[in-house]
Amino acid sequence: MTKLHDMKNAAVPEGYLFTKRYTNYIFILLFLLYMFDYLDRMVISSLFPFLKAEWQLTDFQCGGLVSAVYLSIVIFTFPVSILIDRWSRKKTVGLMALLWGLATGLGAFTKTFGQLSTTRYMIGIGEAGYAPGGSAMISGMYPVEKRSWMLGLWNASIPLGSAMGVAIGGIIATHWGWRHALGLVAIPGIIVAILFFFVKDYKTVGLLKKDPSAAKAQGSKLVKMSILDMFKELTQKPSLIFTYFGMAGVVFTTTALLAWLPTYFIRVQGMEASPAGVKSSAVMLLAIVGAPLGGYLVDRWRKRRINARLIFPAITTLISAIIMFFAFNVFAGKMQYLLLLSVGISITAFVSAASAVTQDVVHAGLRAISYAVAVVVQNLLGGFLAPLVMGAISDATNIQTAFNLLPISLVLSAGLFIEGSFFYTKDLAKVIDVKLEAV
pLDDT at 210 exceeding the cut of 80: no
The percentage of residues in the chain with a pLDDT greater than 90, rounded to a whole number, is 29
Query: What confidence tens digit (pLDDT) does each residue in 278-292 have?
Result: 788 788 777 788 888
Whether 138 maps to a domain, the answer reads: yes
Rounded-to-10 torsion of CA 261, 99, 50, 39: 30
Whether 268 maps to a domain, the answer reads: yes
Whether 359 maps to a domain, the answer reads: yes
Whether 43 maps to a domain, the answer reads: yes
Give residue 213's pLDDT band: very low, low, confident or very high (50, 70, 90). low
Q: What is the mean pLDDT of residues 9-30?
A: 83
Q: Report whether 187 contacts 61 (CB < 8 A).
A: no
Whether 8 maps to a domain, the answer reads: no
Give residue 107's pLDDT band: very low, low, confident or very high (50, 70, 90). confident
- Structural domain of 254: 14-203+235-429
pLDDT of residue 29: 93
Q: Name the nearest CA neighbour of 366 among 167, 276, 231, 258.
A: 231
Question: In CATH, what number is assigned to the domain containing residue 23?
Answer: 1.20.1250.20
Count of CA atoms in the C-beta half-sphere (13 A) of 423: 16
pLDDT at 73 exceeding the cut of 50: yes
Query: What confidence tens digit (pLDDT) does each residue in 327-338 have?
Result: 999 988 889 999
Give residue 212's pLDDT band: very low, low, confident or very high (50, 70, 90). low
Listing DSSP states for 286-336 in one string gives THHHHHHHHHHHHHHHHTT-TTHHHHHHHHHHHHHHHHHHHHHHT--HHHH
Whether 273 maps to a domain, the answer reads: yes
Q: Report whether 169 contacts 404 (CB < 8 A).
A: no
pLDDT of residue 379: 77
Give residue 207's pLDDT band: very low, low, confident or very high (50, 70, 90). low
Q: Mean pLDDT highest for which of 19-33, 137-151, 369-383? A: 19-33
Give the C-alpha separation, 43 to 62, whole Å.
Answer: 12
The percentage of residues in the chain with a pLDDT greater than 70, rounded to a whole number, is 92
Give residue 178's pLDDT band: very low, low, confident or very high (50, 70, 90). confident
3-state DSSP call for residue 116?
Answer: helix
pLDDT of residue 5: 41
Whether 223 maps to a domain, the answer reads: no
Whole-structure pTM value: 0.74
Give residue 4's pLDDT band: very low, low, confident or very high (50, 70, 90). very low
Q: Name which of 218-232, 342-356, 382-396 the model is least confident about.
A: 218-232
Query: What confidence tens digit (pLDDT) does each residue in 318-364 have?
Result: 999 999 999 999 988 889 999 999 998 999 899 889 988 998 898 87
pLDDT of residue 181: 86
Give the count of domains, the chain.
Answer: 1
Give residue 436's pLDDT band: very low, low, confident or very high (50, 70, 90). low
pLDDT of residue 2: 40
Identify which has the larger pLDDT, 90 or 397: 397
Identify which has the larger pLDDT, 248 or 140: 248
3-state DSSP call for residue 348?
Answer: coil
pLDDT of residue 201: 77
Whether 209 maps to a domain, the answer reads: no
Cβ neighbours, 10 Å, residue 78: 16
pLDDT of residue 3: 41
User: Please, what is the average pLDDT of the chain?
Assistant: 85
Give residue 167's Cα distance to chain centre: 20
